[in-house]
Amino acid sequence: MIDPQRLLALDFPEIVHTYTTRDTILYALGVGLGSDPLSPHHLQYVYERGLVALPTMAVVLAYPGFWYRDLDTGLDFSKTVHGAESIAIHAPLPVASTVVAKTRIVDVIDKGAGRGALVVSERAIRDGADGRLLATVRQTAFCRADGGFGGPERREPRPAPPPDRPADHAVHFTTRPEAALIYRLSGDPNPLHVDPETARAAGFARPILHGLCTMGVVCHAAVAALFGHNPGALRRMECRFTAPVIPGDSIRSEFWAIPEGWGFRASVGEAAVALGTLS
């Protein structure tokens, strides 16, 4: 059984991450950009001339790795999946830089015995040269085998459902069968996304796509449909993962205008795989 106080006191090493334009391009390829190699709206993410970074690249900067397994957490890492992610972009992400961040656990939520737990971590990503805050990333891990440790019952935060009307914008994108194999090269080594045996042990028929890759697909759809292909216009994105995506699936991203910006739903067929908001 996990100890929430032990998790909240967990000391993460500071990460100093130097990345180049090659890494920025690799991230973009991992979320499917470049699939239309003649489109200037794809090339801006994968070609050094005029290169820009997709805002969701923040999720791989100074990333602490598969810490559920690598640090002394007490979690059953084989049953841990990504539950939600949010980014706040405070300044345009450089396409090459050195950044610094230190992750910390900010919340542990017990869903109850047999229902798992949520572990929320956060890191502020700063420019390594001047300390300027570039982005804040918050991640929620759904630890499916670690519930029932006690504590007051709390409801987990959930995004509001989409409005009951047709979407204002919709974008279709078909992921590549090897998408997870490319995306993992940006620093997410969880074997759930590459090793069939690990995926079966976790209850999946085959390796699944990283939730953060799905988030990147939705982010690009939003930048294209809502912000005139200008990635610098997106400042905030919150995403909750609701079902797995298999590499090769076609993702439909739907967007609704709401008072705080845009609500979105990503679906594969009739199944919603991600919900959230952005602005």
Per residue in 6-37, pLDDT (tens digit) is: 888 888 899 999 999 999 999 999 999 999 99
Instruction: Count Cβ atoms within 10 A of the Cβ of residue 114 and give its class: 0-12 exposed, 13-18 middle, 19 or more buried.
Output: exposed
Which of 82, 193, 210, 220 is the catalytic position? 193
Judge whether 17 and 61 are in contact, CB under 8 Å: yes
The residue-averaged pLDDT of 231-244 equals 96
Query: Which of helix, strand or coil describes residue 270?
Result: coil
Instruction: Give residue-wise pLDDT tens across range 153-210.
Output: 666 667 778 888 999 999 999 999 999 999 999 988 888 999 999 999 888 999 999 9
Is position 193 annotated as part of the catalytic site?
A: yes
Which of 23, 110, 146, 188 is the catalytic position? 188
Domain boundaries, the chain: 4-278
Distance of CA 62 to the CA centre of its chain: 14
CATH fold of 4-278: Thiol Ester Dehydrase; Chain A (3.10.129)
Give the Cα separation of 195 and 205 in Å (integer): 11
Give the Cα separation of 4 and 191 in Å (integer): 25
Distance of CA 3 to the CA centre of its chain: 26
Distance separating the N- and C-terminal Cα atoms of the chain? 39
Instruction: Say if strands 116-127 and 250-258 run parallel, antiparallel, or are unpaired.
Output: unpaired
DSSP state of 58: G
Helix, strand counts (H, E) of the chain: 7, 11
pTM flag (> 0.85): yes
